[in-house]
């Protein structure tokens, strides 16, 4: 078994996106992830984006559940909880993203696991935190984008608040779960001590706005959303997204005099300080927009890169999957489903290790596919209701 975390066993009590993405990352890094689901499977097996299914499973479930084994049991059955705590003796990490208090009521809270294994690392992720006025509310990506201030920053003037095109808060929080677990494992290596880790969608999304909130907290003002497609309300010209003859290109942090030389536009040279590039954003954007409509995206990217301008074409998914850098990075994997009767294509792990490569050890399991490896029929007798 390869992977830098091949010595780590994870008991996974997560559903939806943030928790499953975190445990998938741990699995990609070699951890032995045992996913506990209710009989019939967790909620994401029956709900997902555009109701898309492949090989009998929701695409949304397939996306976040490779490199795991599935155990389907009724967590409300005391005998099941007792058996799980027996398994905890040989486990290193527990990850759960139920609403606060649910795991404790099941007899599977941090104190229960710590009694079974004092070195256990117990990671809890929630919508808003384990305590506080919102702690019992349902936490979900769109809701967190709305509440955290992230949504009102996105979009143009006179448009309504705009959500991101992906579940950014779920996935950003998943990274914090993993980072926290790795930090706790490092601490345990030095001290032998386990501990509890808590993260939540709301706090992580507020922290995501590190530089924006730093500006606001210290200046007390916010920039007004622009009518132009500047890409960010905070940016300095010529930062923005520009229409071309056949698509769009994006330009990032580039001094206007550099862009003036690249495009042979002398009028841009006058904007040679940051203050001038901020104050004249609309004027600069308007002039560049007219210029860029005169040729294709490919031609403009070629011209701009010759002068080391920070730029990129705005690609569709159809263009992305054919991109040569995607091929070079081997960014898509074919992952088996169940016992290997089918496979689906998905983004692979972005990690690159020289000695312990990330790889597929388990595909995405069917619900309960591995239950018999951890529970006997006697353990499950009498189990009926779902958790």
Residues labelled as active-site residues: 170
Provide the angle, in degrees to the nearest 10, between the axes of the packed helices 281-292 and 256-263.
20
* Nearest residue to 19 via CA among 222, 164, 178: 178
The neighbour count for residue 128, using CB atoms within 10 Å, is: 22
Buried b / exposed e over 57-70, threshold 16 CB at 10 Å, is bbbbbbbbbbbbbb
Q: Are the C-beta atoms of residues 253 and 300 closer than 8 Å to each other?
A: no
Question: Residue 116 has which token pair?
Answer: 């079974």
* Tokens 């388990």 sit on residue: 362
The neighbour count for residue 329, using CB atoms within 10 Å, is: 12
Q: Are the C-beta atoms of residues 309 and 254 closer than 8 Å to each other?
A: yes
Beta-strand pair 93-96/53-54: unpaired
Q: Would you give the DSSP letter of residue 155? A: S
Q: Which alpha helices (DSSP H) does the chain contain, by range?
A: 18-28, 59-63, 78-87, 102-105, 110-116, 141-147, 168-191, 201-208, 210-219, 256-263, 274-279, 281-292, 297-306, 317-320, 324-329, 377-380
CA-derived radius of gyration, the chain: 25
Question: Residue 137 has which token pair?
Answer: 């509310």
């Amino acid at each position: 078994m390869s992977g830098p975390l091949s010595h780590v066993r994870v008991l996974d009590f997560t559903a939806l996106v943030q928790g499953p993405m975190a445990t998938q990352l741990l699995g990609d890094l070699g951890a032995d992830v045992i996913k506990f689901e209710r009989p019939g499977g967790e909620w994401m097996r029956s709900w997902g984006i555009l109701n898309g299914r492949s090989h009998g499973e929701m695409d949304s479930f397939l996306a976040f559940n490779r490199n795991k084994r599935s155990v389907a049991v009724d967590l409300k059955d005391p005998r099941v909880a007792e058996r799980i705590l027996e398994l905890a003796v040989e486990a290193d990490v527990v990850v759960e993203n139920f609403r606060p208090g649910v795991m404790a009521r099941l007899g599977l809270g941090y104190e229960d696991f710590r009694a079974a294994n004092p070195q256990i690392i117990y990671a809890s992720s929630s919508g808003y935190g384990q305590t506080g006025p919102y702690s019992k509310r349902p936490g979900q990506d769109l809701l967190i984008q709305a509440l955290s201030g992230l949504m009102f920053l996105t979009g143009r003037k006179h448009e309504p608040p705009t959500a991101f095109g992906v579940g950014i808060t779920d996935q950003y929080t998943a990274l914090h779960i993993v980072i926290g677990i790795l930090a706790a494992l490092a601490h345990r290596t030095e001290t032998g001590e386990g501990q509890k880790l808590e993260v939540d969608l709301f706090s992580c999304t507020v922290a995501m706005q590190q530089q924006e909130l730093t500006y606001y907290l210290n200046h007390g003002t916010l920039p007004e959303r622009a009518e132009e497609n500047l890409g960010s309300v905070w940016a300095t010209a010529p930062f923005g997204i520009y229409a071309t003859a056949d698509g769009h290109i994006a330009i990032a942090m580039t001094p206007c005099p550099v862009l003036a030389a690249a495009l042979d536009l002398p009028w841009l040279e006058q904007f040679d300080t940051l203050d001038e590039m901020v104050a004249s954003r609309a004027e600069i954007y308007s002039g560049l927009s007219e210029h860029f409509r005169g040729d294709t995206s490919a031609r403009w990217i070629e011209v701009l890169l010759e002068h080391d301008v920070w730029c990129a074409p705005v690609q569709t998914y159809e263009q992305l999957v054919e991109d040569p850098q995607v091929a070079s990075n081997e960014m898509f994997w074919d992952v088996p489903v169940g016992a290997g009767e089918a496979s689906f294509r998905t983004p692979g792990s972005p990690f690159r290790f020289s000695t312990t490569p990330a790889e597929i050890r388990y595909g995405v399991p069917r619900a309960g596919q591995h239950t018999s490896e951890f529970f006997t029929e006697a353990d499950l007798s009498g189990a009926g209701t779902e958790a």
